Structure 1
Amino acid sequence: MESISVFEIIKVGIGPSSSHTMGPWNAAESFIRKIKTDHQVQEVKEVFVEFFGSLAKTGIGHGTDIAGMLGLSGENFKEIDTSKIDEKVAAIKSSDTLNLNGEKVIPFIYGHHLILNKQKSLDFHPNGMIFKAIFENGEELIQDYYSIGGGFIATQEANSYENHCTRTLYPCHNGKDIDKNMAKLGLDKISDLIFLNEESWRSREETEKEALYIWQQIKECIYKGVNKEGILPGGLNVTRRAAGLNRKLLGDKIYKNIHDWYQLLINADVSFTNINKWVSCFALAVNEENASFGRIITAPTNGASGVIPAVLMYSQVFTDFKSDDNIIRFLLVAGEIGTLFKKNATISAAMGGCQAEIGVSSAMAAAGLTEIMGGTPGQVQMAAEIAMEHHLGMTCDPIGGLVQIPCIERNSMGAIKAITAANIALESDPTKARVTLDEVIQSMWETAQSMNDRFKETSEGGLAIAVNVAEC
């Protein structure tokens, strides 16, 4: 088994869903590249895309259709001006045309060239889709894709993330591997081991630079979220709350930019109640941005993208572990824990329910926080185990297929659980733990396989059914 870089788990993304937005977008881009393998874009007469299973059932709420159209248009979700998305999609629908990869305008009728098939699922994975190109000479090109969580895609032949995999010097595919390599190298911190392995992709300096870039993106995302009022898109009429909470916590203090705001946080009231409110505010801010097609940090998914930012911001504002080095080490350890869940279980809610998103992100954040607060390698793994243990069995039941209710609040809860798990682990002897990280990952996977499909991001069970809301 080859290794996955931590920056494949924690990376720049776009809302509202890594599986249902970023995955289909990546698939569309991949299909364009496949067209170019033996043909030219100019030779294409028509393109069709059909989404199945979970992608279809919650596709409108998650923007799956939008991702497919923009991906085929040659737009990149890391670079697109998110404020122009609605305008670009409206232009495609109103003109019944699509500019394929920005190179050729072809007919494209929504509902004919793009179909959400809610009646059928593909066997390989619940998040299935099929792209088809018809060329001017009558030839056809057909390719199936599957969105397998965190923005990763697969075909029945290969996983997309395999293109980014490599064999590291000290591979860590489970907790036991981490223990073995730590002992072999005589290291005291898991992050030192990860630094060595990440050199298989880039230099240490580049790894540090990438981690600090992600931290800057996290701060900017939170700042945007705490300064936006209004109603989230989609039809549920969910009111943004982060801005009001930010304003209430700061009182009469005024700021003009992100630097001024951040300094106010550092000097804020550090009472237990206020810190809890701030952690919730940070998480809400990120996921309100995510719900409105904002640019966020996928960690490890979009639905759970508020947990790690909230806990990392907590560490830099409200603890004594404030430094660039601690930020880097937090993200490295958090990302490595995420790879363990991806390789041995799943980070896809369509496969494992919300335990695969909020549960994994909480485990990642708990491990990262424990690392920088002086925890031993055993305590770091213990923190991750505790956090996941208390998310086992969590269903994914988004109302209206939107990443809003209960998703946004769950990020706040996942962040608080991560901090609590870290504090428990730091005061515990991991050698006396009855459950290991590897065992809880196995339990999570067994739970995922046993879970009814109605609770796996289909909006066919739980809150999605209990609350009577018209499809958005």
Structure 2
Amino acid sequence: MKGVRRSRRRQLRTPFVGMFDLFRIGIGPSSSHTVGPMRAAAEFLRWIALHEELPDADGLACDLYGSLALTGVGHGTDAAVLAGLCGAEPETVDPNEIPSLLAGIRARRTVELANGRSLSFDPVRDLRFRMKEFLPGHPNALAFSLCRSGEPVFSRIYYSVGGGFIQVEGQAVELSEQPPPRYPFNSAGELLAICQASGLTIAALARANEAGYRPEAEVDARLDAVWAAMSRCIDRGLVGGGILPGGLNVRRRAAGLHEALLERDRLDQGDPLRAMEWVNLFALAVNEENAAGGRVVTAPTNGAAGIIPAVMRYYERFITNASRDGIHAFLLAAAAIGSIIKRNASISGADVGCQGEVGSAAAMAAAGLAAALGGTNEQIENAAEIALEHNLGLTCDPVGGLVQIPCIERNAVAAVKAINAARLALHGDGTHRVSLDQAIETMRQTGKDMKRKYKETSLGGLAVNVPIC
């Protein structure tokens, strides 16, 4: 596209990722295809309003590239961009208000700027899907262009790099503003060494880092808010019904399964696999809410948003000594592991396949559960490694470009796998042959070797072998 600068530079190394960068409250169905593009569109409007030196323009256009183009409609990318151009932010927008925002911008065919100016923008003409083009910085790319008489005079490229994170081309990944952490670590090996030297648990070290940015009371309040948002998402999913949007005619199952499990518990408590079925239910509930475009917490992505909440609800419901402190330790340890994975590999399905989404979430959940159950630092790292190792090579091949098949059931299976990984690790003493850092590097290499059609393009795997009727 004329006016879009195509640097050959790969994305810059991710700076330290904090707890509340990884766990963000947003909307479904996708953190990389919905939350990130909405955030990018809103940021672009703020940015151009602050830069009066930009060339005179009377219009605006947006080009979607790579995975954002190929699976964008099924993931709601087009709607997310339009909502962002209306000023909506994923953390605060009411999902029920998005249809009226979209109707308004389609009717006006203009974008309103904060300084009172307006730019012409016809979604049919000016939101373009470049399905055969990939920009070099990341498979999830979008470019916003200021135009004069239909021709671009300035363009700004964004990459949606997973988990709702966005990156402007040539800049570091966008994170919340904060000073360097008290205990910086780049790898699991460094994390374990720092914990040993300081005498801290992984959760306590993560808490100390967060407390360097804000008061302890605020850290606790934010941890409570994240868990409350996850819990509300589970609870909404337990009563949601009907058919999921998108054309696959996937019926929501969580509400019916919930009623069946309640009845089974009333009649018989003797099923040894009872807890597993409840874990399946919790994960299905979250991911059905996500697929319906509801309010979810990226954990660390939307496509894998059900795994950590399901394992946390398992801890809360089935562990006798479950406590608020345990919930906090769970989230803090999970975030420490997620930070390492994002820094050294990827949490983006478009970048490394579903191993980066479901694999990362399973590793985080396993580590979190091991921490909540009082595991040693070595056992926590082992739990994360087991969960990640046994998701290596997992492809991202959503049928119809929708976060439904196989994504919803995949979260349920991975949640159970995370619990098993934690329990295996807790039966050991923390020593093991394959380190978490080695598993993360293997995931990075596997993702690099994986064919593009298996990385959230819907051009391979189940996406081409399951007919859409």
1-structure distance, mates of 2:371, 2:90: 32
What amino acid is aligned across from residue 438 of structure 1 in structure 2? D
1-structure distance, mates of 2:345, 2:293: 28
Find 2:257's aligned residue among 245, 254, 263.
Answer: 245
Shift of 1:273: 2.3
TM-score (norm 1): 0.91
What is residue 165 of structure 2 aligned with on the other side? 152
2-structure distance, mates of 1:67, 1:250: 37
Q: Deviations over 1:144-182 (max 9, x none)?
A: 111111111112211333553542121121111111111
1:103–1:250 CA distance, 2 compared to 1 (3 A): farther
Q: Secondary structure at the match of 1:112?
A: helix
1:142–1:414 CA distance, 2 compared to 1 (3 A): same
2-structure distance, mates of 1:379, 1:228: 37
Shift of 1:198: 1.2
Contact 2:86/2:105 (CA < 8 Å) preserved in 1?
Answer: no
What amino acid is aligned across from residue 179 of structure 1 in structure 2? L
1-structure distance, mates of 2:344, 2:447: 12
Contact 1:352/1:449 (CA < 8 Å) preserved in 2?
Answer: yes
Contact 1:73/1:102 (CA < 8 Å) preserved in 2?
Answer: no
Please report the RMSD computed on the Cα atoms of aligned residues, expressed in angstroms.
2.3
What is residue 144 of structure 2 aligned with on the other side? 131
Find 1:227's aligned residue among 220, 235, 239.
Answer: 239
2-structure distance, mates of 1:378, 1:461: 38
Q: Secondary structure at the match of 2:404?
A: coil
1-structure distance, mates of 2:163, 2:208: 24
2-structure distance, mates of 1:246, 1:165: 42
1-structure distance, mates of 2:439, 2:449: 15
1:409 aligns with 2:415: no
Find 2:64's aligned residue among 40, 43, 51.
Answer: 51
Contact 1:153/1:159 (CA < 8 Å) preserved in 2?
Answer: no
Contact 1:61/1:402 (CA < 8 Å) preserved in 2?
Answer: yes
Contact 1:398/1:407 (CA < 8 Å) preserved in 2?
Answer: yes
Q: Percent identity?
A: 43
Shift of 1:393: 0.1
Q: Deviations over 1:203-257 (max 9, x none)?
A: 222111101111111111111111111000011000000010111111299xxxx
2-structure distance, mates of 1:284, 1:133: 42
1-structure distance, mates of 2:334, 2:268: 27
Shift of 1:108: 2.5
1-structure distance, mates of 2:270, 2:426: 21
1:11–1:268 CA distance, 2 compared to 1 (3 A): farther
2-structure distance, mates of 1:7, 1:270: 40
1:302–1:102 CA distance, 2 compared to 1 (3 A): farther
Q: How does 1:310-459 map to 2 (within 5 A)?
A: 310-431=310-431, 433-459=432-458
Q: How does 1:155-174 map to 2 (within 5 A)?
A: 155-162=168-175, 164=177, 166-174=179-187
Q: Secondary structure at the match of 1:198?
A: helix
Contact 1:4/1:165 (CA < 8 Å) preserved in 2?
Answer: no
1:15–1:270 CA distance, 2 compared to 1 (3 A): farther
Find 1:205's aligned residue among 217, 221, 224.
Answer: 217
Moved more, 94-103 or 456-465: 94-103
What amino acid is aligned across from residue 236 of structure 2 in structure 1? K
What is residue 466 of structure 2 aligned with on the other side? 467
Q: How does 1:266-277 map to 2 (within 5 A)?
A: 269=269, 271-277=271-277
TM-score (norm 2): 0.92
1:140–1:285 CA distance, 2 compared to 1 (3 A): same
Moved more, 66-75 or 100-109: 100-109
Q: Which runs of 5+ in 2 are unaligned?
A: 1-13
Equivalenced residues, count:
455
Q: Which runs of 5+ in 1 are unaligned?
A: 254-263
Moved more, 109-118 or 19-28: 109-118
What amino acid is aligned across from residue 465 of structure 1 in structure 2? V
Contact 1:222/1:285 (CA < 8 Å) preserved in 2?
Answer: yes
Contact 1:232/1:240 (CA < 8 Å) preserved in 2?
Answer: yes
1:194 aligns with 2:206: yes
1:31 aligns with 2:30: no
Q: Secondary structure at the match of 1:111?
A: helix
Shift of 1:373: 0.7
1:102–1:92 CA distance, 2 compared to 1 (3 A): farther
Q: Secondary structure at the match of 2:74?
A: helix
